[in-house]
C-alpha cells in the first residue's frame, strides 16, 4: 500500500519509521520545510528497517550490503530514495505528489486542513487526517468528501489506547448520569511545544460527557474567576516539559473520587493507530472517524 505523508515533523518521521513494519511504502513526503538531505537519511533508515522485517525480500542491488548477523550496513547516499521504495519529497501537495498513492496521512497544520482535503479529493486519494484545529469547517469537509466520493477518516487522537479510553469514559458517564452527588471535570497535560489548548482529545472527552450526562450541558475551557455553574464541565490544561499526552476525567463527590486516566508514553501509539486507520480505509468511500474503526474492530 502506497502512502503519502503530509507534514514531516515528529509524527511524520515516526510514521515513516513504522510504515515498513505494517507493509506500507512511503512513496512521497509533502513538506516545504524539510531538506532533501534529511529525507534521504530517513529513506535509508526506512530501507534498513524494511530489510529487518521477514516479509520483505533480501536486497538484490549491488550497492546494497546488509549483514544482519553482524549488524553491519552500508548504503550509497545517492541511492537511498530508490532503496526505500522511491520516497520523494515535494514542497507542495498536488497531483504530482499524489501520483500512485493509495492514501495520504496528514499531520500538518489545521489552517490548511480543508485545502488538503480538497486537493486529495480532486485526485481521488483517500485521506487520514490527524491534524486538529479545523473542526469548525467539518460541514464543508463532509461536502467535499461526498462530492468527490473518496474515503476520509479523522480523529482528535489516533492512539488505540485513547479510543478504548473513550469507550470506557462513555460507559462511566452512563453510570454517573443517575448519581447527582458526583461532579465531573477533566484535565490534560501536554509538552511545551503543543500549539493548541485544550487538546482536541480533551474536547472530545467533554462532548462524550455532555452527551451522556443530562445535568451537564456546557464545556468551559478558559480560566475561571467565578464559581462554576452546575451544568458546566471544566476542562483545564497544562503545557510544559516533554509530556506526549495525559488525559484524566474525574468523578468527584464529598465521600470519594474516581479518576480515570490515559497516559501516552510516546508518539508511537498515535502513529500505529494512524497506519492501521489508513489500511482500514483502503477501498472505502465516505466520512469516518476512529470511532467507526474501533466499533468495526470490536464487532469482529
What residues act catalytically?
A: 190, 194
Cell of 95: 497531483
The candidate with the shortest Cα–Cα distance to 281, out of 125, 99, 55, 156, is 125
Cell of 173: 458517564
Phi, psi of 212 (to 5 degrees): -110, -5
Cell of 271: 502513529
Task: For residues 262 and 165, give the distance between their C-alpha atoms in angstroms, rounded to a whole number.
Answer: 7
Collect all residues with Cβ–Cβ distance below 8 Å to 117 and sequence separation of at least 6.
127, 129, 141, 144, 145, 152
Terminal C-alpha separation, the chain: 23
Task: For residues 209 and 217, give the distance between their C-alpha atoms in angstroms, rounded to a whole number.
Answer: 9
Amino acid at each position: 500500500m502506497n502512502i503519502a505523508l503530509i507534514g514531516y515533523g515528529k509524527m511524520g518521521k515516526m510514521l515513516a519509521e513504522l510504515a515498513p513494519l505494517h507493509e506500507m511504502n512511503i512513496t512521497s513526503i509533502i513538506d516545504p520545510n524539510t531538506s532533501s538531505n534529511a529525507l534521504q537519511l530517513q529513506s535509508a533508515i526506512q530501507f534498513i528497517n524494511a530489510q529487518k522485517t521477514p516479509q520483505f525480500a533480501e536486497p538484490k542491488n549491488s550497492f546494497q550490503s546488509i549483514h544482519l548477523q553482524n549488524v553491519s550496513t552500508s548504503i550509497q547516499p545517492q541511492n537511498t530514495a530508490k532503496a526505500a521504495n522511491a520516497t520523494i519529497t515535494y514542497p507542495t501537495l498536488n497531483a504530482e505528489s499524489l501520483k500512485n498513492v493509495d492514501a495520504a496521512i496528514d499531520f500538518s497544520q489545521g489552517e490548511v486542513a480543508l485545502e488538503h482535503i480538497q486537493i486529495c479529493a480532486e485526485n481521488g486519494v483517500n485521506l487520514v487526517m490527524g491534524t486538529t484545529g479545523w473542526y469548525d469547517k467539518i460541514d464543508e469537509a463532509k461536502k467535499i468528501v461526498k462530492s468527490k466520493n473518496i474515503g476520509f477518516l479523522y480523529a482528535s487522537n489516533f492512539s488505540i489506547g485513547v479510543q478504548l479510553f473513550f469507550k470506557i469514559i462513555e460507559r462511566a458517564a452512563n453510570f454517573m448520569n443517575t448519581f447527582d452527588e458526583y461532579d465531573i471535570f477533566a484535565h490534560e497535560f501536554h509538552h511545551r511545544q503543543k500549539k493548541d489548548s485544550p487538546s482536541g482529545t480533551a474536547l472530545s472527552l467533554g462532548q462524550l460527557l455532555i452527551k451522556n450526562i443530562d445535568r451537564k450541558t456546557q464545556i468551559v475551557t478558559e480560566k475561571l474567576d467565578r464559581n462554576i455553574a452546575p451544568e458546566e464541565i471544566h476542562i483545564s490544561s497544562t503545557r510544559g516539559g516533554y509530556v506526549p499526552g495525559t488525559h484524566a476525567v474525574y468523578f468527584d463527590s464529598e465521600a470519594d473520587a474516581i479518576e480515570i486516566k490515559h497516559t501516552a508514553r510516546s508518539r508511537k501509539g498515535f502513529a500505529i493507530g494512524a497506519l492501521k486507520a489508513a489500511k482500514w480505509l483502503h477501498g472505502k468511500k465516505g466520512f469516518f472517524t476512529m470511532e467507526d474503526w474501533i466499533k468495526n474492530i470490536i464487532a469482529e
